[in-house]
Amino acid sequence: MAQSGAGKRTVERLRITVRGAVQGAVFRPHVRELARELSVGGWVRDSGDGVHIEAEASGGELDRFIERLRTETPADSRISVILSRKIKPVGDDVFEIRESSDSRREALSLPDVSICPECLAEIRNPSDRRYRYPFTTCANCGPRFSVLTGAPYTRAQTTMRGFAMCDECRAEYERPADRRHGNELNACPECGPELAALLPYTPLLHLIAEGAGRPLVITTGNVSREPACIDEREAFDRLGGIADAFLVHDQPIARPVADSLVRVLFREPQVLRRSHGYAPEPVTIARDGRPLLAVGAQRTGTVALVEGRDV
Ligand SMILES: [Zn+2]
Ligand SMILES: [Zn+2]
């Protein structure tokens, strides 16, 4: 695409769609940063089917821009495909973030990410304000898919919508250099869910394991072959005859997410059940498939949807 006949630089404009786990607070500023470094004009915004970018610069600059988009993905984002096509230049020489467009289709969201080392250190540090706080998260870790109730990914579209951030959490959320900048689930013991579920998340698992001081066998809250319970009344009803005690809290659970099962075969991980930590990221296939819905035969059966190259 680069045009440099006789040293003359031709300005080009591309319409780019980035698909994958790229929505959220981190990706758009990252795109703007790259664009500014490379003197690329245009804009970026979230939309229902991924992140849309229009980029204008010389062909060589645009090549570098796409290459760096592809290779310098921020932590917590994963790109499955970048599509681009040439459109007519309009003379943009600054690059800006635009408001999200209305999404008719729900964008792919991020899978849950296990607790990061920094958050783990905090919940173990007696002088940290999140000491032993089981809902500790940051922009790099924590639940995503399992707490999402709609799109785009904002706090109001998660099960945290009922918990307003305290001043300290709000300051972390707004400070660009903070690890919690843009963390939609930001919370602490002052403002987050009053302690008391096995939200399928790991700070709590760490705390329980440490408290028990011995290995524990943990399983999802369901009777064999039945779907998992996700609210406490259902759990009391269906599991009352099995469980000795219930640990409950007041943050709702949006959906049951099963544990993933992975087996190592010939030194390669082979996924037997693709769920927590993987879903809802798509598997990308080599070429466009026909639109197809595949469902399992049982109550807990798997559902797969083929759309383009995403399964
Ligand atoms: Zn973290
Ligand atoms: Zn707080």
Q: What CATH number has the domain bearing residue 184?
A: 3.90.870.30
- Is there a single domain that holds both residue 143 and residue 161? yes
**pLDDT tens-digit series, residues 87-112:** 889 999 899 998 775 443 444 456 77
171 pLDDT above the threshold of 90: yes
**Among all ligands shown, which has an atom nearest to the Cα of 167?**
2
Chain segment 46-64, per-residue pLDDT in tens: 875 578 899 999 989 999 9
Query: Are residues 213 and 129 part of one domain?
Result: yes
Ligand whose nearest atom lies closest to the CA of 133:
2
Q: Out of 72, 97, 122, pick the residue that ends a domain.
A: 97
pLDDT for 24 equals: 67
CA 61 – CA 43 distance, rounded (Å): 15
CA of 171 to the centre of ligand 2 (A): 9
Whether residues 77 and 56 share a domain: the answer is: yes
212 CA to middle of ligand 1, Å? 23
Mean pLDDT value of segment 237-263: 80
92 with 28, same domain: the answer is yes
pLDDT number for residue 137: 92
* φ, ψ of residue 13 in degrees (nearest 5): -135, 135
Report the number of distinct structural domains present in the chain. Answer: 3
Q: State residue 299's pLDDT score.
A: 58
Of 97, 121, 148, which residue constitutes the final position of a domain? 97
- Write down the pTM of the prediction: 0.47
Distances (CA, A) of 171 to 118, 186, 215, 276: 18, 10, 38, 30
- On whether both 156 and 224 belong to a single domain, the answer is yes
The pLDDT mean for the chain works out to 80
Q: Return the ligand number nearest the Cα of 191.
A: 2
Q: 41 alpha carbon to ligand 2 midpoint, in Å?
A: 38
Lowest mean pLDDT: which of 24-28, 102-106, 276-280?
102-106
Supply the range of the domain harboring residue 13.
5-97
More confident residue, 211 or 296: 211
pLDDT band at 271 (very low <50, low <70, confident <90, very high): confident
For residue 172, give the ligand nearest its CA. Answer: 2
| 228 and 128 share one domain | yes
